[in-house]
Structure 1
Amino acid sequence: MDIMGGMTAMASSRTEPDLSYLLDRTSHVLRTRMAAALAEIGLTARMHCALVHALEEERTQIQLAEIGDMDKTTMVNTIDALEQAGLAARKPSSTDRRARIVAVTAKGRRVAEQSRRIVDGVHRAALESLPADERTVMLRALTRLTEGELATPVESPVAARRARQSSR
């Protein structure tokens, strides 16, 4: 592998680093590590996401789906799994009697704290594999990209294939 992000034999044909490969590969490996670490406490990354965001404030399944970038069916299945595990329950909203929110149980709060520590640990381990000065630069650059040039997907007549995600 070379700095251009491709196989060394192909490096001579590239004029720019293969940013797509670099971001996809690191994202994929990070997701697999996250999935394995969370599985140790019986959660998927999607369950973690829904649980911690439901703790922040009263949120409906639809709001949690938007935050977690999940479709409606995936969110329903995720909340079903959280309910079956005794970590959350669907309850009427305190502000809108027509709406139902996802309420985290006491057990769910404990598991959410544990999953936050796990997620932080996976992120920390990845970042600590870089020298401190490179960590800062990388985080600043990725933040600029996600808030700037790569903040919004573009419309295309052919849908872009999203990276396969084992679980979020």
Structure 2
Amino acid sequence: MTDNPVTIERMAALAPSRTESDLSFLLDHTSHVLRTKMAAALAEIGLTARMHCVLVHALEAERTQIQLAELGDMDKTTMVVTIDALEKAGLAERRPSSTDRRARIIAVTEKGAELAEQSQRIVDDVHRTALNSLPQKDRDALLHALNLLVTNHLATPSPAPAGGRRARESSK
């Protein structure tokens, strides 16, 4: 006995009904579009978002490559490639730490500091433009709600099942 193929109409009738808004899609889509806008804006000055992140965080304090990778949510390989690109461009360099002779820190050059200031203005502008597309009360509500999620219910990723891809866990 062969099962009859399911028709399009029947498939639609079998689809489960959503009871909640698709928060995953909404967050993923807005994040993706924001990242592409950011990437395009930073590319105009020869930086990637990762390069910007490293420069800004390295200027804030003396930090090792590992510390910067954690702050930027980057794996070791991505971090090495990013630092190599920054060094090649003359924007940063690896130096011995002033507090731990075994550790190496990422030091930003003068040229890198100037570019970090410019890139921060670009990042702020991309964020401002996105937020300014909303009425003030909605903007305030969105930021408030996202901050509540990030600091409470969605502060820590759940462990991923074995074999599945998972987000890096932060040691913050």
Q: Same fold (TM over 0.5)?
A: yes
Structure 1: stretches of 5+ with no match in the other structure: 1-8, 163-168
Q: Structure 2: how far apart are the matches of 1:53 and 1:30?
A: 21
2:21 is aligned with 1:17: yes
Which of these residues, 84, 89, 97, is aligned with residue 93 of structure 1? 97
Residues 128-167 of structure 1: pairs in structure 2 closer than 5 A? 128-158=132-162, 159-160=164-165
Which of these residues, 125, 130, 135, is aligned with residue 126 of structure 1? 130
2:37 is aligned with 1:37: no
Q: Structure 2: how far apart are the matches of 1:82 and 1:120?
A: 21
User: CA offsets per residue over residues 26-80 of structure 1, 9 Å max, x none?
Assistant: 0000000000000000000000000100000000100000000000010000000
Q: Give the alignment's Cα RMSD to 1 decimal.
A: 1.8
Q: Structure 2: how far apart are the matches of 1:157 and 1:80?
A: 33
CA contact (8 A) 2:37 2:126 kept: yes
Identity among equivalent positions (%) equals: 73
Question: Counterpart of 2:117 in structure 1: which amino acid?
Answer: E
User: What number of residue pairs does the alignment pair up?
Assistant: 154
2:113 is aligned with 1:112: no
Question: Counterpart of 1:51 in structure 2: which amino acid?
Answer: L
User: CA offsets per residue over residues 78-97 of structure 1, 9 Å max, x none?
Assistant: 00000011000000111111
2:55 is aligned with 1:51: yes
Q: 2:4 matched to which residue of 1? A: none
2:71 is aligned with 1:60: no
1:20, distance to aligned residue in structure 2 (A): 0.2
Q: Structure 2: how far apart are the matches of 1:50 and 1:60?
A: 10
1:58 aligned counterpart, secondary structure: coil
CA contact (8 A) 2:59 2:108 kept: yes
> Larger relative contact order (C-alpha < 8 A, sep ≥ 6)?
1
CA contact (8 A) 2:65 2:79 kept: yes
Q: Which has the larger radius of gyration?
A: 2
Report the TM-score, using the length of structure 1 for normalisation: 0.87
